[in-house]
Amino acid sequence: MGKAHTIGIGMDYSPNSKSALRWAADNLVDAGDRLILIHVQPPTADHTRKQLFEDTGSPLVPLEEFREINFSRQYGLTSDAEVLDILDTLSRTKGVKVVAKVYWGDPREKLCDAVEDLKLDTLVVGSRGLGVLKRVLIGSVSNYVVTNASCPVTVVKGTPVSKP
């Protein structure tokens, strides 16, 4: 077994971010690795913990606490059985240490900040599969992160929403 890696997963509970998590679980995560679910809440979100951690992001939250419904409420996150099942399986079968972290702000910038803050070896994000025109008009989180992150980034593509 080689050196354990720290792998970040951009998570917003969309089908594409869940695909990114599944892809990482099946193809990237090895025994002993540390998996960090990175949530980015909009800057306008107003939740209990935002005032405490808006500048630095939340503390790292272990899987046991992440499972609790109070955690989701405090940070304004969705509790998702499918995501928890994947994380539990990785923890149990591969001995992966699973933690979560919440940031507030622009997902593009915060995901790049997370790479530095968390000293990620790699980051996996989902792609909404925007067509060329929509990507130009509203921007692409995955494209920005691939261009600006200081670690390797894997983009798990979704089905295109529209044709270019």
Confidence band (pLDDT; 50, 70, 90) for 138? very low
Q: Tell how far CA 141 is from the center of its chain.
A: 12
What pTM does this model have?
Answer: 0.86
How do the domains of the chain map onto residue ranges?
Answer: 6-157
In this structure, whether the domain defined by 6-157 belongs to CATH 3.40.50.620 is answered with yes
Q: How far apart are CA 21 and CA 25, in angstroms?
A: 6
Q: What is the pLDDT of residue 109?
A: 93
Q: 72 or 154, which is more confident?
A: 154
Coil, strand or helix at 99: strand
- pLDDT tens digits, one per residue of 77-133: 878 999 999 999 999 999 999 999 999 999 999 999 999 999 999 999 988 655 554
